[in-house]
Amino acid sequence: MRHRMQVLLATDLYPKRLPGDEPEPLIVETHAIEELPALLLREDFHEARAIAALYIARDRLREEKRNSATDLL
């Protein structure tokens, strides 16, 4: 079994509806990446690909934070 997953980490987003958007408004939930363990405890959050994507994003953000701290020295 071979699967590929693409993860997009977007920053500085803001709400705005444009022509052609979904006919029904999307439900947007905001969670801090530090709250990942609590999110995993929710019964309605069990999609493995979404969980994997969040861990990938968390690790990438941590790496960027470490690199930016090192650059300041």
Q: Are 60 and 9 in contact (CB under 8 A)?
A: yes
pTM, two decimal places = 0.71
CA-based R_g, the chain, Å: 16
In the three-class reduction of DSSP (H, G, I as helix; E, B as strand; rest coil), residue 58 is classed as: helix
Mean pLDDT of 31-44: 92
Residue 15: how many CB atoms within 10 A of its CB? 7
Show the tokens assigned to 5: 């997953």
* More reliable by pLDDT, 2 or 60: 60
